[in-house]
Amino acid sequence: MAASQLSPQSNGVSPRSQSATRFRGCSRITDYDILGKLGEGTFGEVHRAKSKKTGAVVALKKILMHNEKDGFPITALREIKLLKLLSHPNILRLEEMAVEHHAKTDKDKRKRAIMYMVTPYMDHDLSGLLENPDVPKFTEPQIKCYMIQLLEGLAYLHDNHILHRDMKAANLLINNKGILQIADFGLARHYDGPVPAAKNGGGEGIRDYTTLVVTRWYRPPELLLGMRRYTTAIDLWGVGCVFGEMLYGKPILSGDSDQNQLKIIFDLVGTPTETTMPGWRHMPNAEGLNIIPKPKTLHQRFRAHGSGACQLLDDLLNLDYRTRLNAIDALEHPYFKARPLPAKAGDIPMFESSHELDRRKNKGQKAGPPPAPKGGTVGMGPNGGWGEAGPNGNQNYSHNDGYGRHHNGSRYPPPPPHGGYGRNGVPPPPPPDGERRPAWRRDDRPDPRGLPPRPPPPGDYHDNMRADGRYRSASREVDRPPLPRSRAGGGPNVDTYIPSYGGGEGGRRDDRRRRDDRDERRLHVDRDYDDRSRSGRTRSRSRSPVRERDRERVRDREDRDREMYRR
């Protein structure tokens, strides 16, 4: 390379640079054949398309220009910049940007070109997959496989100083090869604190960020309590919610307001104490919040899924962000090393594509529920949809007794209000009828019910997720019955062992007590929680007691927190 370098011909370009990426313009939307609408993302709708050049099927995510007076939306720019820098098998790859120019004849005010983000097409999003009636209930090896991929991706993000800030099932894409990828970086940002290290939880935050992040059902308690100095641990809470959702088959913490969200979180993991959530009293929104101490019910509720799953869920849904499991440690959790071992991604059966849009669509056709209220408030509609079939479909343990969660068109609570973000303030409205029929409900194909998804091949549950042999081989797993469990009929054991989830009128003590609470909540609003008997009713706290050292830390922190929130 050397000698030629000084000659004019070489233009001073070193050969090494030949391998580097180039800057080149965006491609045109006309380079793609649009195949159909998939759903709504942070910035706008998502279409499925096929590249004319490569033949690859891709997803095109339209970037809506909301606030044109500031030029190209900053959230979109941030997302694009981040995605261009990221490269990991479990992070959705941004292939390129495509531009759609308006026809020259079109001379009205909106002359601006429309931009699309081009990513590989993924067959499902996790949320759509979970609600697709034709997809059998996830098996444990399958859940483990997805969880590992999710955690790998998140560990990579956090290690690269990135907070995702919108962890939820709908943002986890899965393809028919069983690969899970984290998507939607519209709320992601650079994280200034120290990156998580093994055995070190989430660490401490070093600066403030906006609290207007994370979709409510996946929002961690510290955010709900208004803490601004949060850490990478906020994403891990979301992972916990997603994990629970995979086990249970539906979102586990679907609050209909921020206050209600806190309440149902505390119903599940117990009310906070200085032990379980040091310094919580001094968080901004905790002021004047009276809470009747309640024990943790998580282990009871998820008992059917085994102690390993319960423990992992408990560690992820840890009220204290400092000790909440981080992604590195979560990957080492005994749950993933216990039988049944995680499935190999390639062994997970293929399903018909399922997306948020399909699911909403399906509800609209099947049960004909009233249209989603403005703002998409959740939990108001009647129990429609397919979920009612099972004996365990009726009694939702969370809020609003009796209402399942298949109520209205919009499954999602509104994303947090946005100050200054170009993001939609409300969840996407249900699509107008007749726009696109879900793949599994189209007339032009054989009834999918006649062709149930391929059951997992026998003997596919063992090991070798990774080359390093982290998961021991378990050939004995071969004789494990590979039958997919039917969603509608409820999983085996579920109804008998988890009254709060599936037992319906199980009449268990715990269940009744909870319902009383709900009634109580109806009468007095959240501020009426009484904390007189606070110390009295905490029982079965499974977390270890605080050691003296921790107490000191806690005291220090309290002081600091108080200082901080005074501002």
Residues belonging to the active site: 166
H helices, E strands: number in the chain: 13, 11
* Under rule CB under 8 A, residue 519 binds another protein: no
* Under rule CB under 8 A, residue 420 binds another protein: no
Pairing of strands 57-63, 114-120: antiparallel
The H-or-E segment that residue 366 falls in is helix 356-366
Query: Is there a contact between 142 and 179 (Cβ–Cβ < 8 Å)?
Result: no
User: Which of 31, 45, 96, 274: binder of another protein (CB under 8 A)?
Assistant: 96
- Residue 487 neighbours by CB under 8 Å, 6+ apart: 133, 135, 136, 137, 249, 390
What are the distances in angstroms from CA 177 to CA 42, 173, 345?
Answer: 26, 11, 6
- Stretch of 18-26, 228-236, 347-355, 404-412 contacting another protein, by CB under 8 A: 18-26
Shortest Å distance, C-beta 76 to another protein: 9
Instruction: Lay out the site mask for another protein across 177-216 (x = CB under 8 A, - = otherwise).
Output: ----------------------------------------
108-147 residues in contact with another protein (CB under 8 A) are 112-113, 115
Q: Cα 508 vs. chain centroid, distance in angstroms?
A: 31
* Under rule CB under 8 A, residue 288 binds another protein: no
C-alpha 554/C-alpha 440 separation (Å) is: 53
Instruction: Lay out the site mask for another protein across 147-166 (x = CB under 8 A, - = otherwise).
Output: -------------x------
* Under rule CB under 8 A, residue 78 binds another protein: yes
C-alpha 104/C-alpha 408 separation (Å) is: 42
Shortest Å distance, C-beta 183 to another protein: 17
Burial pattern 382-392, b for ≥16 Cβ within 10 A else e, equals: ebbbbbeebeb
C-alpha 486/C-alpha 501 separation (Å) is: 16
Query: Is there a contact between 388 and 497 (Cβ–Cβ < 8 Å)?
Result: no
* Under rule CB under 8 A, residue 77 binds another protein: yes
Query: Is there a contact between 390 and 404 (Cβ–Cβ < 8 Å)?
Result: no
Shortest Å distance, C-beta 29 to another protein: 12
Residue placing its CB nearer to another protein in the complex, 84 or 454 = 84
* Under rule CB under 8 A, residue 34 binds another protein: no
* Under rule CB under 8 A, residue 71 binds another protein: yes
User: Which of 35, 57, 64, 99: binder of another protein (CB under 8 A)?
Assistant: 99
CB atoms within 10 A of CB 515: 14
Residue placing its CB nearer to another protein in the complex, 69 or 566 = 69
Residue 9 DSSP SS3:
helix
Shortest Å distance, C-beta 78 to another protein: 6
Shortest Å distance, C-beta 20 to another protein: 5
Is 61 known to sit in a ligand binding site?
Answer: yes
Positions that interact with another protein (CB under 8 A): 1-3, 5-8, 10-14, 16-17, 20-26, 68-72, 74, 77-78, 80-81, 84-87, 96-97, 99, 112-113, 115, 160
Annotated binding residues for ATP = 61
